[in-house]
A and B are shown apart, each in its own frame.
Chain A
Amino acid sequence: MRTKNKKAQEEMIGFALIIIIVAVILLIFLGFSLRTHQKELVESYEVDSFIQSFLQYTSDCAEGHEPNYASIQKLIFLCNRKERCTDERDSCEVLNTTLTQILEKSWEIVDRPTKGYELNISSGNKDIILIKTGNFTRNYKGSQQNLIIGGNPSDIIFVAYY
């Protein structure tokens, strides 16, 4: 009778201990899973705003007379029409150089969360500008802006890979 009771007691204590241990482990996991909230490395609003902002950038290519310096948006139109700046530089060359430098400064890929980027400005089926750099990973954020260039619907597509 005594040994039977002792055995039952031990079993009960063991059962209670197991319940406590399991509950504690579950709570720890729950706590960790609730805490793992991560901030996005590249936010979509950043990519959207980037296109809007670089289109307004004042380049050093004057159209007709100085200081009528063209914005990047205007420079895209000039490049599409194969026009030159007042200092005889090719508008497409200025556009390409300026955009490359803007991208290099805005989306640095060395020791940064951004691994690569791609900018494509096209009118109809023709590519006006295509700049690709870095690794194209599976995580990316992209944005598109539509323009009408020379009567043709045109797209500015920017994708940042992280």
Chain B
Amino acid sequence: MLNQLKTKIILQIVSYGKMKNRKAQLKIKQMTFMLIAVTLFFALVGMFVLVIKFSDIREAATELEERNAMLLVSKLANSPEFSCGGAFDTPRLNCIDADKVMILRQHIEKYNDFWGVSNIEIRKIYPAANSEILCTLENYPNCNIIRLRSKEIIGADLSNFISLCRKEPYEGDYYNKCELARIMVSYEEK
């Protein structure tokens, strides 16, 4: 009888220990799940933050290029390398001396990275020509596109209206002739 009681007590202790172990296991499982979920969550958030950051850096670079081009295109016509200055009677705003630009074109390699854009182009708008003729020293002024660098305009571009002036010969003399044109500044998209 005493032995039976002892055995019963021992069995009860063992089963209590088993139950306690199971509870602990369950808690460990619970914690593992939570840890996995939290790690996954932070990993995902981190990944998205990184993706957005990197795309932002690229976008910011393009945006800076665009802003630079925009500021440049709105100011370029009044810079000393392009502006008419006092060559056409009175000082004029947004006036580009075409003769000066044609000479600048010949020495453009000295201006590499000076404006920080990939190319600058001047296109006559009015009077309009039937075809696009690139200006060279041989065909000038019977042309309608002055490209500062010989390469094509690539990437995005921004443009602004300008007055393109030159000295036009007339019966052994010269007079000021101004036409309407657009100055185009191109920048590379990152």
Residues of A bordering B, CB below 8 Å: 1, 5, 8-9, 12-13, 16-17, 19-20, 23-24, 27-28, 30-31, 34-35, 37, 39, 43, 45-46, 49-50, 52-54, 56-58, 66-69, 71, 101-102, 105-106
Known: A23-B44, A27-B45, A37-B59. Is A106-B29 also a contact (CB below 8 A)? Answer: no
Stretch at the interface among B33-41, B101-109, B113-121: B33-41
Q: Is B132 an interface residue when CB atoms closer than 8 A count as contact?
A: no
Instruction: Please state if A16 and B34 are interface contacts (CB–CB under 8 Å).
Output: yes
Name A13's closest neighbour in chain B (CB-CB).
B33
Instruction: Please state if B41 and A16 are interface contacts (CB–CB under 8 Å).
Output: yes
User: Chain A binding site: helix, strand, loop or mixed by DSSP?
Assistant: helix
User: How far is it, in angstroms, between the C-alpha of A9 and the C-alpha of B48 when the chains are bound?
Assistant: 28
- Restricting to B21-74, which residues have a CB under 8 Å from any CB of A? 23, 26, 29-30, 33-34, 37-38, 40-41, 44-45, 48-49, 51-52, 55-56, 59, 63, 66, 70, 73-74
Instruction: Please state if A52 and B163 are interface contacts (CB–CB under 8 Å).
Output: yes
Instruction: Please state if B41 and A20 are interface contacts (CB–CB under 8 Å).
Output: yes
Kindly list chain B residues whose C-beta atoms are within 8 Å of the C-beta of A23: 41, 44-45
Instruction: Please state if B162 and A49 are interface contacts (CB–CB under 8 Å).
Output: yes
Instruction: Please state if B55 and A35 are interface contacts (CB–CB under 8 Å).
Output: yes
Name B37's closest neighbour in chain A (CB-CB).
A16
Name B93's closest neighbour in chain A (CB-CB).
A52
Instruction: Please state if A27 and B48 are interface contacts (CB–CB under 8 Å).
Output: yes
User: How far is it, in angstroms, between the C-alpha of A142 and the C-alpha of B45 when the chains are bound?
Assistant: 45
Instruction: Please state if B161 and A16 are interface contacts (CB–CB under 8 Å).
Output: no
Quick one: which of B37, B59, B94, B179 contacts A13, CB cutoff 8 A?
Answer: B37
Instruction: Please state if A54 and B70 are interface contacts (CB–CB under 8 Å).
Output: no
Instruction: Please state if A37 and B125 are interface contacts (CB–CB under 8 Å).
Output: no
Name B175's closest neighbour in chain A (CB-CB).
A67
Instruction: Please state if B66 and A53 are interface contacts (CB–CB under 8 Å).
Output: no
Kindly list chain A residues whose C-beta atoms are within 8 Å of the C-beta of B94: 49, 52-53, 56
User: How far is it, in angstroms, between the C-alpha of A67 and the C-alpha of B171 when the chains are bound?
Assistant: 9
User: How far is it, in angstroms, between the C-alpha of A27 and the C-alpha of B53 when the chains are bound?
Assistant: 12
- Expressed in whole angstroms, the minimum distance between the Cβ of B82 and any Cβ of chain A is 13
Instruction: Please state if A106 and B180 are interface contacts (CB–CB under 8 Å).
Output: yes
Instruction: Please state if B48 and A57 are interface contacts (CB–CB under 8 Å).
Output: no
Q: Is B18 an interface residue when CB atoms closer than 8 A count as contact?
A: no
User: How far is it, in angstroms, between the C-alpha of A30 and the C-alpha of B49 when the chains are bound?
Assistant: 10
Name B56's closest neighbour in chain A (CB-CB).
A34
Kindly list chain B residues whose C-beta atoms are within 8 Å of the C-beta of A5: 26, 30
Known: A45-B74, A49-B161, A69-B175. Is A24-B48 also a contact (CB below 8 A)? Answer: yes
Q: Is B145 an interface residue when CB atoms closer than 8 A count as contact?
A: no
User: How far is it, in angstroms, between the C-alpha of A68 and the C-alpha of B170 when the chains are bound?
Assistant: 11
Instruction: Please state if B51 and A46 are interface contacts (CB–CB under 8 Å).
Output: no
